Amino acid sequence: MMSPAHYLFLSLALFLIGSIGVITRRNVIVVLMSIELILNAVNINLVAFSRIFGDVAGQVFALFIIADAAAEAAVGLGIIIAFFRNRETVLADEMDLLKW
Partner 1 sequence: MTPSGYFLAHLWLIPLFPLITAALMLLIGRLLPKAAVSSLCVGSVFLSFVHAAGAVLELLALPSGNRVFQQVLFEWITPGVMPTAVGLTSFVADWGYLLDPLSAVMVLVVTGVGFLIHVYSIGYMGHEGGYYRFFGYLNLFMFSMLTLVLANNLLLLFVGWEGVGLCSYLLIGFYFLKKSASDAGKKAFIVNRVGDTGFLLGIFLIATTFGTIRFTSQGLGDPVAFSGILQALGAMVHQDPSLYGAPVFTAIALLLFLGATGKSAQLPLYVWLPDAMEGPTPVSALIHAATMVTAGVYMVARMNAVYQLAPFAMDVVATVGALTAIYAATIALVQTDIKKVLAYSTISQLGYMFLALGVGAFAAGIFHLMTHAFFKALLFLGAGSVIHSLSGEQDLRKMGGLWNTVPATSRPFLIATLAIAGMPPLAGFFSKDEILGRAFGRAAMVDRYLALWIVGLITAGLTAFYMFRLLFLAFFGLSRVSPEAEHHIHESPKTMTIPLMILAALSIVGGWFALPALWGEESSFEKFLEPVLSGVIPETAAVKFAHHTLLTEYFLMAASVSIAILGFGLAYNLYLKHPQLHSKVSAAWPRLHNLLIHKYYVDEIYDALFVNRIKDLSTAFALFDAKVIDGLGVDGSAWLTRLLSRISMWWDKWVVDGLVNFVGKFTQFLSHPIRMFQTGLFSSYAMWILIGLAILLGYYSHHMEVLVRNLR
Q: CB–CB of 4/12 below 8 Å?
A: no
Identify the helix (H) or strand (E) that includes residue 47. Answer: helix 28-53
Asked whether the beta carbons of 4 and 53 are under 8 A apart, the reply is: no
Cβ closer to partner 1: 21 or 61? 21
Among 11, 14, 31, 36, binds partner 1 (CB under 8 A): 31
Binds partner 1 by CB under 8 A, chosen from 13, 23, 63, 70: 23
Q: Under DSSP, is residue 98 helix (H, G, I), strand (E, B) or coil?
A: coil
Spatial separation of the C-alpha atoms in residues 87 and 93, rounded to whole Å = 12
Site for partner 1 in 68-87 (CB under 8 A): none
Which is nearer to partner 1, 85 or 100 (by Cβ)?
100
Tell me which residues touch partner 1 (CB under 8 A): 3-5, 8, 19, 22-25, 31, 52, 92-93, 95-100
